[in-house]
């Protein structure tokens, strides 16, 4: 019997310092999943790694005594220190509900975060790409994504479409900064970089986006933003009031040694939206530099409005969770149902032998009739059995299948 298990570290228990220790790039996540998939008791693996969370999901044999925490530390090469207090482990129903709530943004630092649905979907896609998913995790993640989309379509968890940059913009404005008067540079042109550039453009800022040289001319940049080569970012820094870095690079995009060599003419605000971090945290110690990281921002919503929206979202999730649990509890019965359908359809076809002798049709035509009868009867019986499944207790349905099996035993 498969068991759904997960272990996660996120913004609720751990600062960015600890989260980045366990974060994965896309390539590293793919390699890690391949290693785990080869473990004896593991049938499927998905790694969800975002700015605010790292989650390791497995579908495993119940007899497995595998420690997900130990496996994660081994994958990350962490041999010293005990970080268990920063992790949460879940299994079964608790794990299932957690994923559904995560996918619709209820578990995000910024409630209703628009990016998380895509991140959950991409995590599953990567697992597929390296052949590490299985039917259980495939169905679980697909259903969670569908639930998240329905929540997003039908429930307004916040007043606006939001992401981490929304919280950053709100914080800066509350602190009295006039973003419309700022010269801004966004390092990175991925999803988060584009969101950042668009958010700053919407505020009326002068925005320039860095583009890797080997991508120049091929990459579209947001709106009216200008572009510069990534290699020229330090030279442009001297003119900036605000720098946002949001790449998926495992290395720093802004180093302490590089910033100290830049003759800046003004104070600069730097916002690091990446995990692992893009900007060397010691940069924040330099005179004239104010450095924020992903943990510096939240997004304020009206408490009562959020409570009502959350209740609506959870009601939608309950329906999808019930559908998944129905499938999950019956998945081991599917082979039995298929076997009964096959035997019943063959039995029906054999009963057609005598009536078909009365027809002046060729043997080929009679075979086609038998095949059509088999296919039709199989579909009808399959529909009847799944109808029974939805109308009775699982134990009673299982007994029903066992009895039907005996009708076709030789």
The band of 366, judged by pLDDT with boundaries at 50, 70 and 90, is confident
Q: How many CB atoms lie within 10 A of CB 98?
A: 18
Whether residue 82 has pLDDT greater than 50: yes
143: left (phi over 0), alpha (psi -120 to 50) or beta: alpha
CB 314 within 8 A of CB 150: no
Tokens at 93, concatenated: 């129903």
CB 89 within 8 A of CB 69: yes
Average pLDDT over residues 366-379: 84
98: left (phi over 0), alpha (psi -120 to 50) or beta: alpha
Q: Which of 1, 3, 6, 29 is nearest to 276 (CA)?
A: 29
Q: Which of 223, 222, 239 is nearest to 188 (CA)?
A: 222
pLDDT of 410 reads 56
Average pLDDT of the chain is: 87
The band of 160, judged by pLDDT with boundaries at 50, 70 and 90, is very low
Whether residue 245 has pLDDT greater than 90: yes
When comparing pLDDT for 357 and 23, which is higher? 23
Q: Note the pLDDT tens digit of each residue in 166-182.
A: 888 888 998 999 999 99
Kindly list the distances between the CA atom of residue 35 and the CA atoms of 20, 30, 268, 330, in Å, as whole numbers in the listed order: 21, 9, 43, 30
User: Rounded to 5 degrees, what are φ and ψ at 349?
Assistant: -65, -40
Active-site positions read 51
Q: Note the pLDDT tens digit of each residue in 180-211.
A: 999 999 998 888 888 899 999 999 999 999 98
Q: Note the pLDDT tens digit of each residue in 258-296.
A: 999 887 777 999 999 888 889 999 999 999 999 999 888
3-state secondary structure of 255: coil
pLDDT of 307 reads 80
Find tokens 């996660």 and name the residue: 8
Least trusted range by pLDDT, from 41-45, 103-107, 223-227, 233-237: 223-227
pTM tops 0.85, yes or no: no
Cβ-in-10-Å burial (0-12, 13-18, 19+) of 52 comes to buried
């Amino acid at each position: 019997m498969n068991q759904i298990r997960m272990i996660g570290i996120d913004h609720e228990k751990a600062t960015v310092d600890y989260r980045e220790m366990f974060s994965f790039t896309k390539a590293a996540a793919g390699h890690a999943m391949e290693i785990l998939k080869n473990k004896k008791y593991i049938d499927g693996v998905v790694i969800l790694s975002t700015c605010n969370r790292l989650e390791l999901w497995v579908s495993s044999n119940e007899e497995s005594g595998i420690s997900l925490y130990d496996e994660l530390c081994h994958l990350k090469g962490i041999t010293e220190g005990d970080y268990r207090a920063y992790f949460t482990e879940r299994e079964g129903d608790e794990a299932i509900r957690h994923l559904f709530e995560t996918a619709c943004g209820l578990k995000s630092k910024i409630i209703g975060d628009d990016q998380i649905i895509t991140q959950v979907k991409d995590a599953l896609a990567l697992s597929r790409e390296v052949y590490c998913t299985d039917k259980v995790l495939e169905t679980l993640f697909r259903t969670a994504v569908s639930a998240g989309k329905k929540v997003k379509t039908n429930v307004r968890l916040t007043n606006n479409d939001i992401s981490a940059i929304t919280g950053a913009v709100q914080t800066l404005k509350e602190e009295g900064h006039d973003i419309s008067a700022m010269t801004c540079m966004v390092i990175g042109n991925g999803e988060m970089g584009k969101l950042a550039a668009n958010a700053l453009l919407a505020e009326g800022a002068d925005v320039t986006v860095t583009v890797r040289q080997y991508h120049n001319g091929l990459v579209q940049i947001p709106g009216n933003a200008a572009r510069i080569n990534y290699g020229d970012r330090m030279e442009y820094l001297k003119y900036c009031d605000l720098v946002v870095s949001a790449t998926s690079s495992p290395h720093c995009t802004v180093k302490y040694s590089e910033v100290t060599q830049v003759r800046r003419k003004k104070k600069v605000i730097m916002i690091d939206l990446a995990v692992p971090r893009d900007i060397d945290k010691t940069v924040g110690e330099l005179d004239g530099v104010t450095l924020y990281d992903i943990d510096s921002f939240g997004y304020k919503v009206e408490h009562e409005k959020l409570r009502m929206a959350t209740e609506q979202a959870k009601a939608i999730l309950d329906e999808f969770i019930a559908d998944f649990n129905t499938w999950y509890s019956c998945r081991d019965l599917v082979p039995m149902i298929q076997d009964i359908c096959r035997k019943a359809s063959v039995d029906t076809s054999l009963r057609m032998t005598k009536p078909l002798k009365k027809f002046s049709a060729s043997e080929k035509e009679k075979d086609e009739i038998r095949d059509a009868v088999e296919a039709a009867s199989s579909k009808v019986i399959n529909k009847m059995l799944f109808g029974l499944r939805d109308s009775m207790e699982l134990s009673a349905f299982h007994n029903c299948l066992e009895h039907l099996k005996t009708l076709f035993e030789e």
